Structure 1
Amino acid sequence: MKTLTDQLAQYATYHRDRRNIATHLVGIPMILLALQVLLSRPVLADAGVPVTPALILTAITALYYLRLDRPLGALMALLMAAGLALAWPLASQSTPLWLWSGLGLFVLGWVIQFVGHFWEGRKPAFADDLMGLVIGPLFVVAEVVFALGGRRALHDAITARAGPLRSGSTVAAQPSADTKTL
């Protein structure tokens, strides 16, 4: 099994434009919530907590994240539990409201993602490795943790493998040949 650094660095190579990462901070949570909404029907059993395909898939994914890294995995489990807490009430609404909310979030989230990849000039990571669909949410949470100053060693290891972030254009400004240095 690949390590956390392996997974995040591989995913990061497709995400070096800051604008693309910004779209992922919005789009990926929308897509994840959409999947939880859509998969919160049917209720397979109810033992105080509705057992749904969303709950089962969320639990499996959380266990995978925990295996990769306990602190980030625990944070992901909490965030995904919050997503389920939002998804269950939506899934219990009328069928049109359930479908429109789930499908609307799903489509809008992907549109936002593809705008980011247009700016990046590169296809999404999942086009080459389906694990990108699982690693995407973890990448977003890790990026927020990094922005808050956490996990510096992990951030540095990912940057060493994937390269530095770009501010927006794919070509960094280069000094002209006739610029003299003092």
Structure 2
Amino acid sequence: MTKLEQLLSQYAAYHLDHKNVLTHFIGIPMIVFSIMCLTARAGFFVSGFEITLALILLVFSVIYYFSLDKAFGLLMLVIYAIAYPFAYKIAQLGMGAWLTISIGTFVVGWVFQFVGHFYEKKKPAFVDDLVGLAIGPLFVLAEAVFLLGFRKDIQAKMLEEARQQRRAMDEKSLQTAHAK
């Protein structure tokens, strides 16, 4: 199993309910975009070009995604390249508008996340492993790619492993409940 399949499987173990996955299609992009907006305001200029904290975070995340899978890394690069100029424009707004849009988007995104986990009846993956915060956007991208009929081999391995991990989590929860 590749590192990509392992990470997607760990994340998917918390996301096997289709309603939960659907809420993540809305919530995760909103959260990522809001973080872009919030961090695009801090920056410095090099040769007339502004290097923002958002841009630095995006570069590092794309490098990480490329290290896991070239195709997913490229797709994430394209998505970020499209989203970043909009986030940068929002970051240039007045303080009140910038914070209202950025924080409002962040909060609404998390509401979607928690509604999804209500259906799943499982806590978010990042509670057990902070890597889940970085894998969440990649998971949503992978799910979209799977829905389009591509990378089915990865999806099959991911789901098989995720279901095994989920069974182990559920058994552990039952054992803990019986011990109380």
TM > 0.5: yes
Query: Normalised by the size of structure 1, how large is the TM-score?
Result: 0.87
Residues 98-109 of structure 1: matches in 2 within 5 Å?
Answer: 98-109=98-109
Q: In the alignment, which residue of structure 1 is the partner of 2:9?
A: 9
Q: In the alignment, which residue of structure 2 is the partner of 1:32?
A: 32
Q: What is the CA distance between 1:122 and its match in structure 2?
A: 0.2
Range that drifts further, 76-85 or 47-56: 47-56
CA distance in 2 between counterparts of 1:143 and 1:128 reads 21
Q: What is the CA distance between 1:49 and its match in structure 2?
A: 3.8
SS at match of 1:135: helix
Residues 62-101 of structure 1: matches in 2 within 5 Å?
Answer: 62-101=62-101
Deviations 1:44-102 (A, max 9, x none): 22545421110000000000000000000110111112221110111111111111110
Q: What is the CA distance between 1:162 and its match in structure 2?
A: 1.1
Say whether 1:136 aligns with 2:128.
Answer: no
CA distance in 1 between counterparts of 2:50 and 2:14 reads 37
Unaligned runs of 5+ in 2: 165-180
CA distance in 1 between counterparts of 2:149 and 2:116 reads 24
Amino acid in structure 1 at the alignment position of 2:96: P
Say whether 1:21 aligns with 2:24.
Answer: no
CA distance in 2 between counterparts of 1:49 and 1:81 reads 16
SS at match of 1:44: strand
CA distance in 1 between counterparts of 2:111 and 2:48 reads 36
Question: RMSD between aligned alpha carbons?
Answer: 1.3
SS at match of 2:129: coil
CA distance in 2 between counterparts of 1:5 and 1:96 reads 42
SS at match of 1:15: coil
Q: In the alignment, which residue of structure 2 is the partner of 1:60?
A: 60
CA distance in 2 between counterparts of 1:107 and 1:28 reads 11
Deviations 1:11-62 (A, max 9, x none): 0000000000000000000000000000011222254542111000000000
SS at match of 1:23: helix
Pair member with larger Rg: 1
Unaligned runs of 5+ in 1: 165-182
Query: Normalised by the size of structure 2, how large is the TM-score?
Result: 0.87
Q: In the alignment, which residue of structure 2 is the partner of 1:111?
A: 111
Q: Percent identity?
A: 44
Q: What is the CA distance between 1:159 and its match in structure 2?
A: 1.1
Amino acid in structure 2 at the alignment position of 1:140: V
Runs of 4+ in 1 over 3 A off after TM superposition: 46-49
